[in-house]
Amino acid sequence: MRGISKAYMVLVMVFLYAPIAVLIFFSFNAGNSTSVFTGFSLQWYKELFQDEETLSALYNTLVVALLSSGISTVLGTAAAVGINKLNKWMKNVVMNITNLPMMNPDIVTGISMMLLFVFAGSILGSDDVLGFGTLLIAHITFNLPYVILSVLPKLRQLDSHLVEAAEDLGCPANKTFFKVVLPNIMSGVITGFMMAFTLSIDDFVISYFVSGPSFQTLPLRIYSMTKRVVRPSINALSTLIFVSILVLLIVINVLQAKDEKKAERRRRAAK
Amino acid sequence: MKNKIIDLHNITVAFDGEKVLDGIDLSIEDGQFVTLLGPSGCGKTTTLRIIGGFISPDSGDVFFDGKRINDLPAYKRQVSTIFQRYALFPHLNVYDNIAFGLRVQKVPKNEIAERVAEVIKMVNLSGFEKRKIDSLSGGQQQRVAIARAIVTRPKVLLLDEPLAALDLKLRKDMQVELKNIQRQLGITFIFVTHDQEEALSMSDVVVVMDGGKIQQIGTPEDIYNEPVNAFVADFIGESNIVDGIMIEDNLVKFAGQKIRCVDKGFGKNEPVDVVIRPEDIDVVSPNESPLSGLVTAVTFKGVHFEAIVDVDNFKWMIQTTDMIKEGQEIGLLLNPDDMHVMRKSEYSGMFGDYSSFSDEMDYISDPDYVEDEESEEVAEAEE
């Protein structure tokens, strides 16, 4: 029985990670083929970093990811503070509305946003609205619920007497937020930011619809590369994206684990 | 006459339509140690939070040093609070926690250092300045909370059951220490507790509350010796409360006996409640006293025995150092000043009969009981 469960586990892992393993493996291929390995080389990585278009796509991706995750972190944290103060019923309503975009298929979100942007553009008298601005708005929109979801539990855990204690010591409410509330929910804010950043780098479907030909992100760039002759440099690029996302996820997880440990220690100290 | 630092006029507060405070009038003199005492849900914490500025009353006025402060936000009030769970800032170390209030008020840096050092010494926390809050024990956290609250030199210190989470021994030590700090600072302390022993041993004035109303205000001696009604008599210490009739001044009839007492000023033949403290009753042989009964239970309490005595189906509690045994017939002797006569109140008949004497009477002095109460509060908050 034990053997079977182990074998099953291995199979699951193989199916999950085999494609990525193959991709990483062939990114180091010396040859031109995507099926025959002829020797180790870094030439595809070299080619990648000489490709102007790819580099500009990388730059765009990072700019959009940083801006969208930064803005959605500020908006999302503010929203979480507000939501936390609502009564139970209103909180449920607002949270369901917030969660809806996460359940919504990306393609529906993408198309609906594109239509909205084009419609808004036509009202403003422009027929070429799709580009950096629309992409940024779209990314902020789909990032928001994730930030709210990671900040809200921290606010709920926060001892409400801390805020009162600060006021009691002469601290006005807005100052209290920055001096007492924010430091204590910071781990949630950072997790939210990292998640938003990851999602933004990751996104293809929504970006595909709301960005124009003038503005390309890495996932869009990869997609357009596959339309022409598939070069192994795609493998190299995908490997880099996979690794950086992996690192981000590990950092998020480590942060969360640390935080839980701290909370556990505090609980014990309180007793 | 010292000036009134805090004055509450006809304060009424309701949460979700339920009255928590019902017409509270309370004057607190400067420099006193005042305790708000009552069972959970009596409104004592709400009263404290009104003074602190965390709740505004539905009606009534709050005066501080003669000025009406109903609309003054908490951060502008010259009061400091020590919260039940201390509410120390977990992201700051001991020094920064204590310095928080001074920094917010933009006190110069060297003065902050001086004043923090001063209070750290006062609460015996020297050497702990750089320690993280979650590395401190409950007692140490308590000291940080005290230091943080007094460093801003408030005129009034509000303490919301600050000792409830400490174990018994530490609690006794902290009682003494708090009292010393109060004497040293000379400021007003308003202390909330459900522990009557704590209230009696620390306070200049005790305010007994129940059901959102003040039942009695007085010195610990007054409250204990001259309770105004059956609730106060029962809540403070142990009491036998029997129905009686005031025949005339200095003569009360109860348990079928006319007995001399020291109380007067009641109407002729007015029905009254008579309080007899268990420790005031002398045990004699049955033929030496008109009151006699059968001992039904004896508990050894260390300094004395606590016995339940059945006198004509009314169970009395007595405390005595004499050796008595279950099943023994004994006489109960009362001197005139052993009795305290009270007018009838809404609480008459609810307390003071030990026929149903059981563990439930003990919860008042049981520290674990608080834990339950708090976890209930937490559960409510989480809902």
Same domain, B56 and B17: yes
Mean pLDDT across the stretch B53-80?
A: 92
Contact B209, B236 (CB under 8 A): no
Residue A169 with chain B: CB contacts under 8 Å:
75, 80, 100-101, 104, 148-149, 152
Pair (B201, B307) in one structural domain: no
Cβ(B256)–Cβ(B236) under 8 Å?
Answer: no
Nearest to B87 among A164, A262, A269 (CB): A164
Same-domain status, A175 and A67: yes
Answer yes or no: do A139 and A7 share one domain. no
Pairwise CA distance, residues A194 & B39, whole Å:
49
- Residues in B touching A162 (Cβ below 8 Å): 87, 89
List of chain A residues whose C-beta atoms are within 8 Å of the C-beta of residue B149: 168-169
One domain for residues B290 and B258: no
A140 and A69 within one domain: yes
Phi, psi of A240 (to 5 degrees): -60, -45
In a domain, B301, yes or no: yes
Longest pairwise C-alpha distance within chain B: 78
User: Does any domain span residue B359?
Assistant: no
**Distance (Å, rounded) from C-alpha B322 to C-alpha B306?**
10
**Position A46 in a domain:** no
Cβ of A167 within 8 Å of Cβ of B75? The answer is yes
Residue B379, in any domain of the structure: no
Kindly state whether residues B295 and B187 are assigned to the same domain: no
Alpha-carbon B347 to chain mean position: 19
The two three-digit tokens of residue A247, written as one number: 């690192």
> Same domain, yes or no, for A37 and A17?
yes
DSSP B157-176: EEEESTTTTS-HHHHHHHHH
Question: For chain B, what is the mean pLDDT?
Answer: 87
Q: How far apart are CA B157 and CA B165, in angstroms?
A: 19
* Burial class of B362 by CB neighbour count within 10 A (0 to 12, 13 to 18, 19+): exposed
pLDDT recorded at residue B337: 87
Task: Identify whether residues B53 and B179 lie together within a single domain.
Answer: yes
Tell me how far apart the alpha carbons of residues B202 and B173 are, in angstroms, rounded to a whole number. 12
Round to whole Å and give the CA distance between A247 and B37: 57
Could you give the CA distance from residue B166 to residue B374 in angstroms, rounded to a whole number? Answer: 14
pLDDT at B371: 42
Residue pairs spanning A and B at CB distance below 8 A:
81
Cβ distance B352 to B230 under 8 Å?
yes
pLDDT over threshold 90, residue B313: no
**Average pLDDT for B124-141:** 90
Nearest 10 degrees: Cα torsion B41, B43, B46, B48: -120
Query: B73-105: per-residue pLDDT in tens?
Result: 999 999 999 998 889 999 999 999 999 999 999
Tokens of B281: 């009753």
- Give the CATH number, domain containing residue B57: 3.40.50.300
Q: Are residue A177 and residue A119 in the same domain, yes or no?
A: yes
Asked whether residue A129 is assigned to any structural domain, the reply reads yes
Does residue A81 register a pLDDT over 50?
A: yes
Q: B378 or B278: whose pLDDT is higher?
A: B278
CATH number (domain holding residue A105): 1.10.3720.10
Q: What is the pLDDT of residue B205?
A: 95
Substitution target from B91, B107, B148, B157 for chain A, most A beta carbons within 10 A:
B91
State the pLDDT confidence band at B2, using cuts at 50, 70 and 90.
Answer: low
A249/A207 same-domain check: yes
Percentage with pLDDT > 70 across chain A: 97
Same domain, B71 and B148: yes
pLDDT of B6 strictly over 70: yes
Span A156-171, average pLDDT = 92
Domain total of chain A: 2
Distance from CA of A259 to the nearest CA of B (A): 12
Residue B375 scores a pLDDT above 60: no
Question: Do residue B101 and residue B91 come from a single domain?
Answer: yes
Residue A1 is predicted with a pLDDT of 73
* B244, B209 Cβ separation under 8 angstroms: no
Same domain as A222, residue A169: yes
Those residues of chain B whose CB sits closer than 8 Å to some CB in chain A are 52-54, 73-76, 79-81, 83-85, 87-91, 100-101, 104-105, 133-138, 141, 148-149, 152, 381, 383
pLDDT for position B130 = 92
Residues B239-286: tens digit of each pLDDT: 899 888 998 888 888 888 888 888 888 888 889 999 999 999 999 888
Phi, psi (rounded to 5 degrees) for B37: -120, 135
Provide, as residue numbers in chain B, all residues whose Cβ is less than 8 Å from the Cβ of A164: 52, 54, 74, 81, 83, 87
| Contact list, B141 vs chain A (CB under 8 Å) | 269
Top pLDDT among B370 and A28 is at A28
The residues near A207 (Cβ < 8 Å, ≥ 6 apart) are: A110, A135, A138, A139, A217, A219, A220
B325 plus B342 within the same structural domain: no
In a domain? residue B246: yes
How many angstroms separate the Cα of B263 from the Cα of each of B151, B280, B343, B347? 48, 16, 11, 20
Res. A65: pLDDT tops 90 = yes
Q: Please say whether the beta carbons of B134 and A262 come within 8 A.
A: yes
- For residues A143 and A30, state if they share a domain: no
| Residue A53 pLDDT | 85
Q: How many domains does chain B have?
A: 3
Looking at the fold, whether B32 and B101 belong to one and the same domain comes out as yes
Q: What is the pLDDT of residues B178-194, one digit of tens each?
A: 999 999 999 999 999 99
> A47 in a domain, yes or no?
no
Mean pLDDT, chain A, as a whole number?
89
Is B203 in the same domain as B302? no
Give me the mean pLDDT over the B101-113 stretch: 94
For B185-218, what is each residue's pLDDT tens digit? Answer: 999 999 999 998 899 999 999 999 999 999 999 9
Predicted TM-score (pTM) of this structure: 0.79
Instruction: Indicate if the pLDDT at residue A265 is higher than 80.
Output: no
Q: Provide the sign of the torsion angle of the four alpha carbons A129, A130, A135, A141, taken in this order.
A: positive
- The reported pLDDT for the residue numbered B372 is 40
d(CA B256, CA B164): 44
Q: How far is it, in rounded angstroms, from Cα A214 to Cα A85?
A: 43
Q: What percentage of residues in chain B have a pLDDT greater than 70?
A: 92
Q: Does residue A175 form part of some domain?
A: yes
Cα of A60 to nearest chain B Cα, Å: 37
Across residues A79-91, what is the average pLDDT? Answer: 93
* pLDDT tens sequence across A99-110: 888 888 999 999
ipTM for the predicted complex: 0.78
Residues B31 and B66 in one domain: yes
Q: Is A164–B101 a contact, with Cβ atoms under 8 angstroms apart?
A: no
Q: Identify the domain containing residue A199 by its residue range.
A: 52-270
At B287, which CATH number?
Answer: 2.40.50
Based on the fold, state whether residues B74 and B185 are members of the same structural domain. yes
Q: How confident is the model at residue B374 (pLDDT cuts 50, 70, 90)?
A: very low
Question: Mean pLDDT over residues B31-52, rounded?
Answer: 92
My answer on whether A9 and A114 are in the same domain is no
Q: How far is CA A17 from CA A20, A28, A249, B244, in A?
A: 5, 17, 16, 88
A83 and A168 co-located in one domain? yes
Residue B254 domain boundaries = 240-277+335-352
Tens-digit pLDDT profile for residues A211-245:
988 888 988 988 888 887 777 788 888 888 889 88
Do A25 and A71 have their domain in common?
A: no
Does B170 fall in a domain? yes
Q: Residues of A with CB below 8 A from B53's CB?
A: 167
Residue from A155, A163, A168 to probe the interface with B (highest B Cβ count within 10 Å): A168
Higher-pLDDT residue of B353, A169:
A169
Q: Are A10 and A66 part of one and the same domain? A: no
